[in-house]
A = this chain, B = another copy of it.
Amino acid sequence: MTTERLERQLEFIVEVDKLKSVYRRSRLINRSRYENDAEHTWHLIMMAMVLSEHSNRKDLDLFRVFRMLLVHDIVEIDAGDTFAYDDAGHLDKFEREDEAAKRIFGLLPEDQAKECYALWREFEDRTTDEAQFAAAVDRLQPMLHNYHTEGSSWKENGVTSDKVLSRNKHVAEGSTTLWDYAEKMIRRAVERGYLEK
């Protein structure tokens, strides 16, 4: 073990503190402020732990889901948060985020940089069972936050129920149980006036 290796690891750890200052469009459930990416990520890992039994895949590698979630938003330190309903922002999202991934994960020793980059790409590609389940909790969480704040972020951004359904329907790839729940929640949100039809 070289000291240089440890120094690089700690430089990365100090750098990613910036994720706590990347704000999202979702509010905390107590509505006091917008949520940041670091606390959002903690919440997703907690959700993955508690909800893993609802995955479509019965022998899910939950440890891999945790590691994917852990790193999945780090690129937003450079690339910023792209709001789920910002179609224009999604056009060049991959390029912006890929450059960010290379810079930030590149602070780590090479073997770890490769591991983190691969985890991030796996999450983005959404082809493995683990990535599909990770994506399912990543989409369910802001819907829960919206529902429990009477649609605060949906209303602020003029989002309608058909947009919510089409943007989030891939929750079902990871968990049909969670998507069934989400569809009911979206219907209730419309009935209660939290979300425009």
* Chain A contacts to B: CB under 8 angstroms: 1, 6, 9-10, 12-14, 16-21, 28-30, 32, 35-36, 38-39, 41-43, 45-47, 49-51, 53-54, 62-63, 66-67, 70-71, 108, 112, 144-145, 148, 177, 181
Contacts and interface: CB of A to CB of B under 8 A. Distances in A.
A48 to B, nearest CB: 9
Given A6-B54, A53-B1, A66-B66, A13 B108 contact: no
A35 B13 contact: no
B28 A20 contact: yes
Nearest to A51: B9
Would you call the interface of chain A mostly helix, strand, loop, or mixed? helix
B21 A49 contact: no
